[in-house]
Amino acid sequence: MSHATTRAPFKARADAALADRTLKLAIDRTTGTAEAKRAAALSAFPEFEAARARGKAIKDHVIAHLDHYLEEFERNAIASGARVHWAADDAEARAIVTRICLEADARLVTRAKSMLGEEIGLPHALADAGIERVETDLAEHIIQLAGEAPSHIIWPAMHRTREQVADLFRTGHHPPPAAEDPASMVQSARRELRAKFLGADVGISGANFLVADTGATCTVTNEGNAELTTTPPRIHIVTAGIEKLVPSTAHAFALLRLLVRSATGGEMTQYTTFHCGPKRPGDADGPEEMHIVLVDNGRSRMLADEFRAMLRCIRCGACMNHCVVYRQIGGHAYGGTYPGPMGAVLTPVLDGLAAARDLPHACTMNGRCAEVCPVGIPLPTLLRAWRARSWREGREPGAVRAGLSLWARLATRPRLYRLASRIGVRGLRLFGRGGWIARLPLAGGWTAHRDLPRPEGRTFMEQYRAWQARKGAGR
Amino acid sequence: MSAKPAPRVGLFVTCLVDAIRPRIGFAAIQLLEEAGCIVEVPLAQTCCGQPAFNSGDDADAARLARQTIAAFEGFDHVVLPSGSCAATMVHGYPDLLAGDADWAARARDLAARTHEITSFLVDVMGFRPEGRRLEASATYHDSCSGLRDLGVAAQPRALLAAVEGLQMRGLEGNDVCCGFGGTFCVKYAPISNAIVTEKAEAIQRSGADLLLAGDLGCLMNMAGKLHRSGAATRCFHTIEVLAGQADGPAIGEEG
Amino acid sequence: MTARDRILNAVRAGLPTPRATPDAIAAEARALLDAPEARRPALAAPGLADSFCAKAAALGTTVARLPDLAALPEAVRGYLADHGLSATLALQPAPSLAVLDWSGIERHSAIAPDEPVALGLARWGIAESGSLVIHSGPDTPILLSFLPLHHIVVLHEDRLLPHLEDYAARTAGEAPPRNAILITGPSGTTDIEGSYVRGAHGPGFLHVILIAPEARPAD
């Protein structure tokens, strides 16, 4: 679901984010904690590197045999009593979910956080169908009250400070929270949402894993909201991307160890739940119907092109927690469903390169995201692949193309290049005083914020030839 | 005693060193010769092509890759005073030319011979500078490409430990990007500025007299920010200190 | 063409032909689970019970150890008194619990939305992570583990498994329940500024009562 096309351009969004000191404070608090906790979890898990190599191999195996696993999963899910639906794109997925809700006469739908649900635009689709939607994850509850989209895939409300949450709860909760410390506010949300859980007609969740050999879907949460979303209503709907498959429960556990440590620095989420079909005859509780919507939405296309490695992503958020750009501008500035490095790779797939051209460029290529990725996705390589595609498709600004082309014509003619450098550095020196250049035409991006060291005066190549001559004479 | 013949090293000075701070290139020659290498600087070199490569301009990047490969054929080793340019040659060229029947093998051959200078001095030459003395405190920033693409981390520190009197201080976030990112720093200047502002603050908090790093691009970014914000920190490329040149002008000081 | 066919065709278009046989795929999948000990954390302590207790305690789960199931009601009375809770309990309708002497405690099987305390049985425990495994079933309502503020779970020590894979191996080939839940610590959230708060939606208190192995009646 495209947010990018309806909003200000990336640079304007980034500038607004940079000017928001409260946002920066909120980002630093959460990503700083996440980074420290992940580091601690890894130092307590010396087998992490070996586990990561296996996690990557599991994902690669599934991707290489995705057709097989999709069919196996479908077979077993149907055998468990679930109904399986296939959606080639976001519109099909929205249509399937709303149709199930409308046919069930659903008035109230509870939803457990799912980034795929955001990706396919489910919140808006339910509203358009006149169905009341209640987000049950605490962070999603906060941003639902604020009328916002998630700014992080693990902490969707991480851009909001406690004071801002208190403001939202004061008007959104009846009665308002007793106090404005996090514990009182969490308590208030618990009370506020309890009745909704039990009164819902349909519960919608995502899936962290789809287990092929059992047909089960797996959710992980720390709050327990997924189970409260998927158990009381008559109907449970799962929306999941087709890349979420794993061969078996044991494979899911291997990935789970990586996912939780990378996401929150914990070892296990508090609740790891496998949902397999509707309630069995005689079961004490559980939904009467279970529907699983398998969503492609660009994934089969990625499988066929240079972005296949991105299908390994298990949505842990470590790449954004460790990204210097994300930590300055936060998630909303990216303008898509998924922010940070993984979002900069995925958003052009989902929203098109025309709408998201800036994202793969707004990266310093420092490689920290790939370093922390628990399934070894070469994120900078994929971002560069988008830049190359953008170049091939002629999407790069004319000035950039002309500048690079001129520079390349010089750089591929060493004699001319040496001459141009000699002239260039002398010219550059004219703009400086002392050792620094404080203002330089056409380089305002640099000198607006920092000084430029003034060139020494003669290029290395000039000096080297003189140096060689001296050295030869000295022999 | 049958001494191994001195290795022939081709020095790629990098376009930034060539234009902005040639003394880094001479420091490289000095150190490589002290380590027992025969050093040559092929005149046919210009830029490694990274600006084109990272802009997605694969055709121009490949042209520069071929030019560089040809210029450095025949050397035992190719050494660069930059982890970033070295990484382009080690990882970028083989990727870029993988589908080029005539050049793929030559690209891999160059990659196998290419080294960032501090790792070359330590890992290949087993070199330690002798008789260096510098009464100062310094902190070290790990430039990203060298660190993550080439594993440059222990080598510069080992070399710096051989400088008597030099007191190394820890840098908070030493492995966090400074916000340079090549053309990123001008294309997304406000974001880059926010990043380098935090970096400059961390450098000042370290209390060190000197900031050292292995890439001139990152150094220009950090030095430029430190100077703009009025800090007194003096910035050098690691090998300038190792070559005993820290008594000369720091980045942004007139010599 | 159905969406299913379109998706499967698109997937196959991106993959090499001929496709591997199911047997070959299964062998590859099995090989991915080889040498698990090199790729998972070691236990926190040599014994399963000690490891389980150490992990559980680190997550804020409280653990009591009892010699046999007959001692359970007394221990529960103590827990209720210690926490200032009234002597009322949502009790999982399991035969092994129903036969105990619960005198002095009001018991019910329906779980209220604001149930203060519920008590149930864990099917297994995982020593690696301090997790409890619960399967839904006729006498195991899922909401019993999620609605109460205090969740008391009885776990027989001989139902402790070393690692997550051991649980997967135990259940492989069985018909899965509607829900298999691994509970690892009390409900919590870090959604407000990353500060950890217990009792987000599920229980704010998780109390495990570990029953010594010799006390378990042969069944």
Domains of chain C: 45-215 (3.40.50.10420)
Query: CA of B139 to nearest chain A CA: how many angstroms apart?
Result: 20
Do residues A318 and A372 touch, judged by C-beta distance below 8 A?
yes
% of chain B surpassing 90 pLDDT: 97
Among the partner-chain residues A325, A435, A458, the one whose CB lies closest to the CB of B253 is: A435
* Confidence (pLDDT) at C216: 46
Do residues A238 and A209 touch, judged by C-beta distance below 8 A?
no
Q: Which residue among A300, A321, A355 closes a domain? A: A300
Query: Residue A317: left (phi > 0), alpha (psi -120 to 50), or beta?
Result: left
Query: CA of A307 to nearest chain C CA: how many angstroms apart?
Result: 12
Do residues C164 and A252 touch, judged by C-beta distance below 8 A?
no
**A296 and A417 together in one domain:** no
The contacts of residue A113 (CB under 8 Å, 6+ apart) are A135, A136, A137, A139, A140, A156, A206, A221, A225
**A71 and A200 together in one domain:** yes
Structural domain for A439, as ranges: 412-474
Place of tokens 């080889």: C34
Residue type at C132 in one-letter notation: L
% of chain A surpassing 90 pLDDT: 94
Closest-CA residue of C relative to A193 is C201
Residue type at C168 in one-letter notation: A
Decide if B57 and A464 are in contact by the 8 Å CB cutoff: no
Distance of alpha carbon B65 from the chain centroid: 18
Q: Burial of C147 by CB count in 10 Å (0-12 exposed, 13-18 middle, 19+ buried)?
A: buried
Q: How many CB atoms lie within 10 A of CB A196?
A: 19
Place of tokens 């010769």: B33
- Roughly what angle, to the nearest 10 degrees, separates helices B58-71 and B104-113? 60
Length of chain B: 255
Among the listed residues A404, A391, A380, A317, the one whose alpha carbon sits nearest the alpha carbon of residue A353:
A391
Among the listed residues C29, B95, B108, B65, the one whose alpha carbon sits nearest the alpha carbon of residue A306:
B95
Residue type at C178 in one-letter notation: R
* Confidence (pLDDT) at A189: 96
pLDDT(B229) > 90: yes
Q: How many CB atoms lie within 10 A of CB B6?
A: 13
Integer Cα distance of B90 and B88 in angstroms: 6
Total domains, chain A: 2
- For residue A406, tell me if it sits in a domain: no
Average pLDDT over every residue of A240-251: 98
Q: What angle do CA A444, B59, A307 make, to 5 degrees?
A: 90
% of chain B surpassing 70 pLDDT: 99
**A420 and A287 together in one domain:** no
Do residues B23 and B245 touch, judged by C-beta distance below 8 A?
yes
CATH topology of domain B129-242: Rossmann fold (3.40.50)
In the numeric block, which tokens belong to residue A314?
């298990």
- Roughly what angle, to the nearest 10 degrees, separates helices B189-206 and B216-228? 80
* Bridge partners for A217 per DSSP: A210, A275
Handedness of CA C88, C92, C96, C98 (dihedral sign): positive
Q: What secondary structure does DSSP assign to A192-238, as a single string?
A: HHHHHHHH-SEEEE--SEEETTTTEEEEEESSSHHHHHHSSSSEEEE
DSSP for residue C21: P
Do residues A380 and A322 touch, judged by C-beta distance below 8 A?
no
pLDDT(A63) > 50: yes
Q: Kindly tell me whether chain B and chain C come into contact, counting contact as 3+ Cβ pairs under 8 Å.
A: no
CATH 3.40.50.11810, chain B: domain bounds: 129-242
pLDDT of B33-51, one tens digit each? 999 999 999 999 999 999 9
Q: Which residue among A240, A274, A300 closes a domain? A: A300
Instruction: With beta carbons under 8 A apart, name residues in chain A contacting B255.
Output: 456
B33 touches chain A (CB under 8 A): no
A353 touches chain B (CB under 8 A): no
| Three-state secondary-structure class, residue C122 | coil
Instruction: With beta carbons under 8 A apart, name residues in chain A contacting B145.
Output: 365-367
**A135 and A266 together in one domain:** yes
Place of tokens 């997967």: C168
Confidence of residue A472 (pLDDT cuts 50, 70, 90): confident
pLDDT(A1) > 50: no
Q: How many CB atoms lie within 10 A of CB B231?
A: 17
DSSP for residue C218: P
Indicate the range of A276-280, B251-255, C138-142 predicted with least confidence: B251-255
Chains A, C: CB pairs < 8 Å: 270
Instruction: With beta carbons under 8 A apart, name residues in chain C contacting A182.
Output: 192-193, 195, 197
Q: Which residue among A234, A265, A300 closes a domain? A: A300
Report long-range pairs for A161-165 (Cβ below 8 Å, ≥24 apart). A161/A22, A161/A25, A161/A26, A161/C193, A162/C192, A162/C193, A162/C195, A164/A22, A165/C192
Among the listed residues C115, C183, C113, C116, the one whose alpha carbon sits nearest the alpha carbon of residue C153:
C183
pLDDT (tens place) for every residue of chain C, 219 residues total: 899 999 999 999 999 999 999 999 999 999 999 999 999 999 999 999 999 999 999 999 999 999 999 999 999 999 999 999 999 999 999 999 999 999 999 999 999 999 999 999 999 999 999 999 999 999 999 999 999 999 999 999 999 999 999 999 999 989 999 999 999 999 999 999 888 999 999 999 999 999 999 744 544
Closest-CA residue of A relative to C172 is A249
DSSP for residue A456: -
Do residues A337 and C47 touch, judged by C-beta distance below 8 A?
no
**How many helices and strands in chain B, by DSSP H and E?**
15, 8
Do residues C41 and A44 touch, judged by C-beta distance below 8 A?
yes
Average pLDDT over every residue of A8-29: 94
**How many helices and strands in chain C, by DSSP H and E?**
6, 12
Return the C-alpha torsion angle A133, A134, A138, A143, nearest 10: 40
- For residue A68, tell me if it sits in a domain: yes
CATH assignment at residue A159? 3.40.50.10420
Confidence of residue A369 (pLDDT cuts 50, 70, 90): very high
According to DSSP, the β-strands at A209-211 and A216-221 are antiparallel
Query: CA of B186 to nearest chain A CA: how many angstroms apart?
Result: 4
CA atoms within a 13 Å half-sphere pointing along the CA-CB vector of A467: 17
| Three-state secondary-structure class, residue B241 | helix
Query: CA of A452 to nearest chain B CA: how many angstroms apart?
Result: 6
* Bridge partners for C135 per DSSP: C180
